[in-house]
Structure 1
């Protein structure tokens, strides 16, 4: 699963240094068993990659993305928000991570260093990926991978504190520790709804989230659970059913997959052409200009860069809202090539 995950998203490559360190920290007696598992996983990954390549999936995009990475100094706001995200993710249990780190430092320092490197690899990659020409909304979601090693340390800290409490003679103290641990672990169930209700507006100012139809930018991110959420389904159906025959929809990766799912799994509008084109170097505009004049052209969203080349497209097309998506009307007598 690890090898397959490494080929699923370029961000996961940030975990490689930490994983390598953790493997090196494994006792030599377990290396043979680990090597067998690694070879089997690598073989399965190669089979999966071969199948994906034959199916036409852009597997080499991972290599291109990794090769195109350039370190940029982060914005001061992003650097300050990094610990704030960590506190919000673990409202009361974060001190347990420090206790877990201390416990691991005493028993296996090499393993602790590996866990820390695993965290820093993911956090620093996102923090230094800032592009000077644009600001990527929803950037905070890419920190999710860095929370796994923190959760491991919290688990170790919880176990260490529980083991210490068992040695205490007074039942009242032991009960107090148990209640404190329970409160720390369950605190997100209380903090998340309160944050969404009372500080949601302020949070969107500090960390602007992308707004899409059927998705409230506050509750969607501040409330991890998605029970009863139907926004993506409603967006896909509304967008597809309102299109004229043989329409062309240009979409970035997020709305594209919603529309594609609606088309393939939902069985709606096989006549519609869906084009996943990420903004950059005029790719979207060239594709739109290459389409037949008789075909209706649409954008799945009207967000600016890095999602859509809106400024360039508006020079050649009028962008008009059509339900939950946007219709393009060619401007007459306007040179675009």
Structure 2
């Protein structure tokens, strides 16, 4: 039931075409089979995306479909985990569907993203560990967990944080394993086998780059200082984290998750320790990154939300047992709690965008881009019928003159590039991507001003587009969804 419900929901609310930013970028990488080894590279997702691109659909839709199916697999794995712990089908369904309709998970299940696949690997490893602990002398499930961890690493580096809790769980379950050299060696080689694609890419790059450069790139050099350095906003980030958590699992789900954690600590402290570490280690790392890493940071919490949904299933099981001891209550309150966990989030996500607009509350502080209602786009996971990104790109190319230049930051650039490279639209237009604070803008102007028409894709990020610098010598004229950069006329002075 949980599997079929999730597939139906995600297919019904699936984005029909390309989406801003990463989703468009994944389609570009899949086309060229661009597989790097940096923290923002996801080789396994690219390989799977290449396979899905053989489907008779638009490439962007095929990748959206890949996300929907991997997310549905995660929902099913949560069902199996909760059922394995509680032996209760209804509790397993409640836990699985709590994840299915949670905001961030649902949002990234209907567009091309790697987070559903990452959560699937974390859930699959947990399931293998639960199977292994029933008979620690039988190491096959442990080797499977190591293999899946390696595959997960090839998809997303964030799984390394989860491996801390998993390793602790293995050690407390079977402390003698550290003396089993053959088993440990098999675990290592299983992990290596799973990460073979990533290892190959790293070795290939080591042949023509210094080892220190490769190591820094692999370990996400841009994040290391933020992780190590103390941030005074850590407490603020913790508050934001719990507000995110409540939005994923409002009211009953939120309460049942914590109730499930308490019940599990009383019943099975080792398993409770595993789930707690998976959530806490994820949170500790990401609190340190702070708000400077943008509005997308909440996506890294998705694997922790998956674990919390397991706790919701355990909490529902405890609630059922409690109510059954008080005859007459179980038949009424249990269905009400299940209904609240599954359907209240759906109601909340449909009401919140309208409510925030009417109350004039900006929860997002997100940039405005054409054909994107930020409240609806970010606060409601459904992307059914949304074609705003493609509509923007088509209108931009219709506006741009022949042989012109469009300067764009990452969000619009990826969509423009998608239409140009994959759909063959306006190959005569030169697309230039802004990096950082737009240092390339003066260079592009000096090279092409007076020879080509130059447009800015957006001016919503003034520092990136060097708007103040441009306004000294140029007028910025709105044309459709673009902004044309026009040299200011030099005033003519009468001759003496």
In the alignment, the residues of structure 2 paired with residue 143 and residue 309 of structure 1 have an alpha-carbon distance, to the nearest angstrom, of: 33
- The whole-number CA distance in structure 2 between the counterparts of 1:273 and 1:5 is 37
Tell me, yes or no, if structure 1 residue 264 matches structure 2 residue 402. Answer: no
Aligned-residue offset at 1:95: 0.8
Bigger helix share: 2
Deviation at 1:35, TM superposition (A): 4.1
Per-residue deviation, 1:305 = 5.8
* Match in the other structure for 1:225: 382
1:182 corresponds to 2:339:
yes
CA distance in 2, matches of 1:285, 1:203: 35
Aligned counterparts of 1:229 and 1:51: Cα–Cα separation in 2: 40
Q: Does 1:81 align with 2:227?
A: no
Aligned equivalent of 2:169: 25
Higher relative contact order, chain-length normalized (CA < 8 Å, sep 6+): 2
Specify whether residues 315 and 61 from structure 1 end up closer, same or farther in structure 2 by C-alpha distance, changes over 3 A only: farther
Say whether 1:154 aligns with 2:315: no
**Shift of the alpha carbon at 1:38?**
1.7
What is the TM-score normalised by the length of structure 1? Answer: 0.78
Q: Aligned partners of 2:369, 2:205: CA distance in 1, in Å? A: 30
Aligned length: 323
Instruction: Determine if contact 1:135/1:306 at 8 Å carries over to the other structure.
Output: no
* Pairwise CA RMSD: 3.7
What is the rounded CA distance, in whole Å, between the counterparts of 2:360 and 2:299 in structure 1? 14
1:239-293 Cα distance to aligned partner (Å, 9 max, x none): 122212222222222212111111122221122222232223x523344245323
5 Å-filtered alignment, 1:90-101, equals: 90-92=249-251, 93-101=253-261
Of 252-261 and 172-181, more deviation after overlay is shown by: 172-181
Matched, 1:109 2:298: no
- Equivalent of 1:237 in 384, 394, 410: 394
User: Which residue among 475, 481, 486 is the counterpart of 1:329?
Assistant: 486
Which moved further from structure 2: 143-152 or 165-174?
A: 165-174
> Could you tell me how far 1:316 is from its partner in structure 2?
4.6
**Local SS of the residue matching 2:289:** coil
Q: What is the TM-score of this pair, normalised by structure 2? A: 0.55
* Partner Cα separation in structure 1 for residue 467 and residue 151 of structure 2: 35
Task: Determine whether 1:210 maps to 2:367.
Answer: yes
2:468, 2:205 → 1: CA distance? 35
2:231 alignment counterpart: 72
* Counterpart contact for 2:399–2:482, Cα < 8 Å: no
User: How far apart are the structure 1 equivalents of 2:249 and 2:232?
Assistant: 27
Of 7, 30, 38 in structure 1, the residue corresponding to residue 191 of structure 2 is: 38
List runs of 5+ in structure 2 lacking aligned partners.
1-43, 45-148, 178-182, 208-212, 491-496
Q: 1:125 to 1:307 in 2, by over 3 A?
A: farther
Deviation readout 1:53-78 (Å, 9 max, x if unpaired): 99xxx994863323453543228865
String of CA shifts for 1:163-211, please: whole Å, max 9, x gaps: x269558465234313322222221111111212223455852431221
Matched residue SS, 2:362: helix
* Contact 2:165 2:281 (C-alpha < 8 Å) held by counterparts: no
188-197 or 316-325: which moved more?
A: 316-325
* Mean CA deviation greater in 138-147 or 100-109: 138-147
Contact 1:250/1:284, CA 8 A, preserved across alignment:
no
Whether the 8 Å CA contact 2:153–2:195 is kept in 1: the answer is: no
Query: Are the equivalent residues in 2 in contact too, given 1:137–1:210 (CA < 8 A)?
Result: no
1:99-129, CA deviations, whole angstroms, 9 ceiling, x for partnerless residues?
2212332344344344334334444444443
In structure 1, runs of 5+ residues without a counterpart are: none
Aligned equivalents of 1:271, 1:203: Cα separation in 2: 43
CA distance in 2 between counterparts of 1:284 and 1:7 reads 33
SS in 1 for 2:374: coil
